[in-house]
Amino acid sequence: MDIDLLTSWLKNTIPGIVILGAIGSWVAVGVLWLLKISLRAASSIFEERWRRRKSTLLHPIMVELVHIYVEKDWVRAQTYLAYQIMTFFCALFVMATSVAAFVYAIGQQPGTFTQVTAPVLAGVFFLALYSAANHFFRIWVPYVVPNLGEEIETAKQEVLAKREAKSGQPSSS
């Protein structure tokens, strides 16, 4: 049987179309099965990475909050929150400015948009995005951590233990 005759028969006859549909269905099932397996493997890897990243982000924030909580320095707490909010909005401003500069550079004559402009503006944008996300996380952690009291108590014990080790005498809590 000739390939041209076979392809013509598969495309132009009802049994050929049914066979092509069945083959396509089996291929789709196989692709979805492979996708399911790969997503399960990837989700376990990403879940572990997210758990580690969350702990590295959360611990310094908890230590800062514990210092404020232990010292009962509300001026410092307000200053900390104001600093985080201001840097968050500064990062948003830098992001918006870099996007505006990128759009302006694209709108210029074709020769003026150099090879350096796009990577520099993209780098500035993503650094500002990271900074904004970091400060946003620091602002909203006290509101989104479900066991904040337990986290503060464990971090408080760590801070007090470090203070005892530095001073050599036990501190009262």
SS3 content of the chain, % helix, strand, coil (to 5): 85, 0, 15
Q: What is the domain range of residue 94?
A: 3-165
CA geometry: angle 82, 83, 89, nearest 5 deg? 90
DSSP conformation class of 173:
-
Task: Answer whether residue 73 is part of any domain.
Answer: yes
Task: Answer whether residue 91 is part of any domain.
Answer: yes
How many domains would you assign to the chain?
1
Cβ(61)–Cβ(138) under 8 Å?
yes
Task: Answer whether residue 172 is part of any domain.
Answer: no
Task: Answer whether residue 171 is part of any domain.
Answer: no
Summarize pLDDT for 14-30 with one digit per residue, the tens: 888 899 899 999 999 99
Please name which of 129, 120, 61 lies closest in space to residue 91, comparing C-alpha atoms.
129
Task: Answer whether residue 170 is part of any domain.
Answer: no
68 or 13: whose pLDDT is higher? 13
Place of tokens 């009802």: 14
Task: Answer whether residue 94 is part of any domain.
Answer: yes
Task: Answer whether residue 20 is part of any domain.
Answer: yes
Task: Answer whether residue 128 is part of any domain.
Answer: yes
pLDDT at res. 90: 93
Distance CA 66, CA 71 (A): 8
Summarize pLDDT for 117-165 with one digit per residue, the tens: 778 888 899 999 988 888 887 777 766 666 666 767 777 788 788 888 8
CA 79 to chain centre: 27
